[in-house]
Structures are given as structure tokens and as C-alpha cells.
A and B are shown apart, each in its own frame.
Chain A
């Protein structure tokens, strides 16, 4: 029958249209994947357009901070903080080397964990980003105008600054609490004497409201537990700080098993206003404690190092009503305060539910002395007396909670690799979404503040196994972006990260952009070795030390031929980029340097130390493409034998 059908040309046309239509219908993307709900369009930021949010992710074992745009996930910058960065000379130039020094000497690497934005009235204000070094305890402050690390403060009497650097609602204080308890002050004792000798500390760092300068205000001596995370109170709970702690067993070996024995560990509540009163009353003891404060001086473009030797220490035994312990199951990680300031969510990483504590119940329990004894003199509050509710059967291994602006908490669950959304007040689970794989922290822009911008949630995952093209045994960590504007979380995209992000902060871009620095004003450059124009260029020998005052501009160095260096000299190239234009850095590198390059921003002076080992000719050049004649931006240094008589000579424009 079919064979009898005669098809006219018209019929062929109709058939062709039908086929085309069918293909279109069958293959038309569903609205869900390509229409208005399309994930791709939600993360697509057209070329030349800006992202809505900055996201600052800790670099974990890279020691740095990475800056991404959201929702695109585009990497904008890696800010060097606690690890040297030869790419831009951080920790290599004479100006920045002192930033990475401590009482332990020069520290080229650390493990950066928790970024925290400065706040005004409980809302991120885009001035500074604080981040902790977990290994050699320090807190850094990053300037969000220059995206550079402006200050690194060492924390004495601490072994591992982990519950750090969380801020109070007006950035009055940044805190740091010890992950590893140690003898305080440190001394040579048997490790088995842990319970007798090892203690923790909580450090309160005062932040200058105008300049941001950090100074240790006081420390509180606390039991030898492992303090994990923290958040400041806000609203009604302003004046308090909450720290999660585990290893309340005070084990010192095989913590994997021995620190998991207690049903409940604690969230420690610190009344810091009370602590301030005790300080004002002189109830502290001054402890000899060596530490260092390294601060960037914008004017001289150098690091000012201060060696300090004492702190004010408060002992809770002599300061009642300052600390309380809230029992929290089991080995809690997060201690996260909701936007209202009434609720504190714990995250027992070996538990199967999320306990949420009530600040008002806590105050009532304190007033009514609803205590279950004490630990080292610190009252332990009754669990039921402080509990607001439990998010039951939330999942396994709850770690960390962020909040949106619609009354929901979002808790990461490591063991079940999922994000669980729950309702504040009813504590019911309303949604859950898997992550790929093994989520650690979450970030909602402003999600730990009074004012979350609850549009996106970023999950930071520890494991990526088969998620990307393989790169050998070492694989990247990842961040996965969710749209949380609707009832259900919806995964939009994922992207690889730098190092291992342990936490992140997000903020609307405009709050940061208004502080943008495009270049440094050369007229304000008071560097000791600044060269403000080619005519000021010079080379001066003092014994074996030779200083080179050099300018860089498109597209030459002045001087570009230098003779008279000798083997055994210590040469300092002080290179000033005299441009006053945006996005025109110049680089400087010389053959055989056992140092990094310089990467000099417009208006800035950077110094490379160079110790030539052999006689000969050493080319130097600009490493950052600056103009069509960038390849011509070069010069020569002549190095003669140690006993030669070649005098210092150089050319000028």
C-alpha cells in the first residue's frame, strides 16, 4: 500500500517540513534546561559584563585567597597571603619578605582557612578581608581596595589558629582560638602530660575602625580542647561569641578514635563585653609572650615589623560569668548564628542531626543556673535548657550552616555529601541536594551576617574524582553553585578551585568596587629608594653593596646598561614603575637570579636582591607585556671579577 503512494514535489516539501518539525519538537530543550529556568543562562555573564558578586575563597593548603566572580565562577585573582608567590614577588621582594617573618623566622608557606569580611552593623562592608593561618598561628588583613595583604599579626600562646578570624558586628574584634592545645606558655614537657599542662586560648584582636590595624587586646585561657569554628553574636546576642570545640576528652594520641568518645562536646559561649569589663578592672595578668606584627606602610611601601612581648591574659577562674559551655553532639564543627542573632546552629560532624541553640534560653538558663556541673570551673549548661530544636534526621556529618534572607538554614553534610535546607523555628527539613563530592563548607553571600543576599549558595567540595578531566593523582577541589532563590535548591554549575577552600565570603560587587585602586600616586611614593623620573636614576656602590635606582615605563628601563658590578657584590635593584595608568605593571627579571621576578604596579617601587656569582654579561628585561615594544624593554648588567677595576657606570635617557 505504501509503495502505491505517489509523492509529488509538494509532498516532498511537506515531508521535509514534517521531519524538520519533528526533530525540532523531539529535540527542543525542555523549559527546565534551556528556557527561562536554564542553568547555563543563569551563570552566563556575557563577555565584557561583570559578575554580581565577589566570592573570596580560602586557598587552604595553598596559603592564599582566590577571588571569583559569581555567578560565572570566573577566577579573577589569587591574592598571595601566607605563601610566597614568585608570580608577583610576594615574599621575595625586600619590601614584602618581612611580611612573612615571625618569631620562628621566615615562613614561606601556611594553610589559610577562613576568610571573613569586615562588617558594619552586622553587614559586610567591603573594606577588609581577614583570614587565618592555621599552621603558624597568624591573622592577615587584606585591603579590598588594592586586593593585597596589608597586615599579618602573629598569635602567641597558640598551636594552630583554626577557630578564626571571625568578627564582631562592627569589626570591633577579630578572634582566634586554638585548634591544638599546647603548654601555655610553651615549654618542654612530656606529651603524656597533656591533661595537666596543655591549654587553649581565645584571642581577641582589636581592629582600628579607620585604618584596620590589628592589635591583640587580650587572651582568655581556656581548657585544653580543640577549638574548631566560631561566630559572633548579633542583634540580641551581640556581645557574645560562640566557639565549637571537640576533643573534650583531651586525648593526645589517635584522636580519630579517642576524641570521639563523648556523646557531646561543647559550644563555648564567651561574653566578650564581660571580658572587656574585667580588662578595664585590671583583672588580667600580663604574660610574657613573644610575637610579631607585620604591617604594610602604604607611604613608604615597605613592611613595618614590630616585635612584641606581652599580652593581657584573663583566667576564667578569676573572671566568673564570662564563659559557659553548651553541650553539643558530637565533635561539632560549625557554630553558626542566624541573621536574627537568636539561634546558634551546631554541626556535630559525627552526628545525624543539627542541634540549634537559643540565645534567649541560654541567658535564662544562666540566670536560673540550669547547670550540669562544670569543666575546669566553667559552668556546663543543661542541653535541654538551651536547645531551641533539633533538625532531626538531617543527614550524616553536619558540618557548617549558612542562612538565607527567607528564614532558612542550609547545612552541609560531609558524610552523606549533601546540602540540607531547613526552616528556622520548625526545624523541619524542606529540601536536600547532593554535592559532588563530599562537601565541606557552604557560602551564601552575607550568609553569616545580619543581611544575607540569598540568591546563590556555593558548596565547597573536598573530592572531585571523576568530575573533571583527570590530572594524575592530584585532583582539584571544586565549588558548586546553587540557585536558592526558589523553594528548591538548583545546581547551576561547578568550577575548580585553588588549593582547598575551607570557607568563603561573598559580597555584592558594588560594595567592593567603590574602593577600587587603579594605581599608586607616584607623588605620594615615599619609598626610601624611589626614582620618580629617569633623570633621578643612579647606581651607587658602598663597599660590596650596590644600589640601583631604576625607572620602568613603556618601553624601557633607565638605566638599561650598567657596568661595574663585581662577583661577591650584593646588588639591590630598586625599580620604580613611573606610569600613572591602569593595568600597566612592569616586570623585572635578570639572568641567574636566585629570587623571583619583580612585578611593579604603576607608581610603586619594588626591590630585588641579586648576588651575581660569575663574571659575565647578564641581560635583564620586562616580564609583563606592556606595549608593542615590550620585547625591546631590556638591558644588560656587566659583572666583573671581584678584583677588577671596572668602575660603576650607567646610562640615562
Chain B
């Protein structure tokens, strides 16, 4: 009986050893040699005190959960955590809801990643455009290479058909909240 107690202890010890023997490395940052998979980019940096990036602004907004899910699915979260500077036109959840039923679910499928990326890149331009700098008729070239025209009428700025309904300044860019989703011309 005494011996079997020892053997039980041995078995527990074995399991414990097996579980813990290789864990010490996990406490370190994932290495970036590519051999253990690709680590996250700048979006994974732990920093609660610096001004928020455009991505962190979106993540922190309850009205942009669809946009954030889409950015994640398209692999653009890290891109928008980089230094930029970016101007992001951020459709609200309500804006996505205006799309035909099932559109968002369809776009979130892995096989639609390229289309989703194209659409999202049509919402980003490299430069920091403040609201007051927009001019009626101004054409912006978006990150994907597509173009879109701005209108300014009676103080209301619209990009394409979507109205800017709020603006948040971030560390690496500026977020203009819009009430519609911008669809780029179809890619070749």
C-alpha cells in the first residue's frame, strides 16, 4: 500500500513534469523566428497609457463591433496599429446593418478575405485628413488604390453617400465615424 502511494505520487509527478517541462518558454514573448508561427504585430503591444491608435479607438467603440470583426477577418488590425498616418472612415454597426441581409456574414467567410480586404481598404487613406480640411469635390485615393469623392454641403461632410457623424483623433491617425459602408468599384 505504501509502495502504491509512492507510485501514485510518481505518476502525478510525471504528469506535472510533462505539463510543465516545456511551459517556461510560453511565459516569454512568442519568438519571431517564424518557426513557432507568426507572432502578432503592433496590435499586440501592451501599452495602456499612450494615446490610442485608430484600431484601439474602433475596438473600444460599442458601435463598431462589426467593423472590428471585419478588420480582424481581413488581417488589417496590425496594419492599422502601425505608425500610419491613417484616415479611417469607420462605418457603425447600423451602417453595416443597412447592407442587404447576409452580406456581412458572407464577407466574413475565409474565402472572401480578399473582397473584404478590398472593401475595408476603401475606407482607409494614408494621410491625416481633419474634417475641416475636406473640400467639396475633393477626391481621395484610398489604400487599395480606389478613389472616392467627398462632398461638403452646409457644413455636412459626406464621403461617397455616407455622412461623417463624428470624429476621433488617434495617435496614428484620425477616425471619421460614418453612417454608411463604402463599396469600391469591382477589382479586375
Contacts and interface: CB of A to CB of B under 8 A. Distances in A.
B96 interface: no
A570 interface: no
Contacts of A350: 126-127, 141
A417 B33 contact: no
Contacts of A493: 33
Contacts of A288: none
A7 B46 CA distance: 51
Interface in B1-58: 1, 3-4, 6-8, 10, 13-14, 17-18, 21-22, 29, 32-36, 38-39, 41-42, 45-47
A559 interface: no
Nearest to B117: A393
Given A352-B145, A436-B32, A438-B82, A19 B4 contact: no
B84 interface: yes
Nearest to A489: B34
Contact of B14 (A19, A263, A436): A19
Contacts of B45: 465-466
Contact of A417 (B4, B17, B41): B41
Given A26-B18, A39-B35, A490-B33, A434 B41 contact: yes
Contact of B83 (A7, A12, A463): A463
Interface string A4-43: 1111000010010001001100110010110001010000
B4 A3 contact: yes
Contacts of A26: 18, 21-22
B28 to A, nearest CB: 12
A117 interface: no
Contacts of B82: 414-417, 437-438, 463
A15 B10 contact: yes
B18 A23 contact: yes
Interface in B81-108: 82-85
Interface residues of B, number: 42
Interface string A73-103: 0000000000000000000000000000000
Given A330-B141, A352-B144, A3 B1 contact: yes
A545 to B, nearest CB: 54
B151 interface: no
A350 B141 CA distance: 9
A37 B34 CA distance: 12
Contacts of B128: 256
Interface string A272-294: 00000000000000000000000
A415 B126 contact: yes
A416 B76 CA distance: 9
Given A437-B82, A438-B82, A491-B32, A396 B143 contact: yes
Given A3-B4, A5-B7, A6-B3, A417 B34 contact: no
B34 A462 contact: no
B121 interface: yes
B78 interface: yes
A437 B6 CA distance: 52
Contacts of A442: none
A397 B78 CA distance: 14
Nearest to B17: A23
A465 B8 contact: no
Contacts of A414: 82
Contact of B18 (A22, A32, A353): A22
Nearest to B126: A350
Contact of B145 (A12, A353, A465): A353
A7 B11 CA distance: 13
A26 B21 CA distance: 9
Given A260-B127, A438-B83, A465 B144 contact: no
A27 B84 CA distance: 41
A433 B39 CA distance: 11
A374 B12 CA distance: 81
Contacts of B42: 417, 437-438, 463, 465
A7 B7 contact: yes
Nearest to B46: A466
B133 interface: yes
A462 B83 CA distance: 10
A149 to B, nearest CB: 32
B36 to A, nearest CB: 7
B3, B36, B46, B85, most chain A CB atoms within 10 A: B3
Interface of B: 1, 3-4, 6-8, 10, 13-14, 17-18, 21-22, 29, 32-36, 38-39, 41-42, 45-47, 78-79, 82-85, 121, 126-129, 133, 141, 143-145
Given A2-B4, A350-B127, 9 more contacts: A2-B8, A23-B17, A32-B35, A352-B121, A396-B126, A417-B82, A436-B39, A465-B47, A493-B33
Interface of A: 2-7, 12, 15, 19, 22-23, 26-27, 30, 32-33, 37, 39, 256-257, 260, 263, 330, 350-353, 396-397, 414-417, 433-434, 436-438, 462-463, 465-466, 489-494
12 contacts: A19-B10, A22-B14, A26-B21, A330-B141, A352-B143, A415-B84, A417-B78, A434-B38, A437-B82, A438-B42, A466-B47, A489-B34
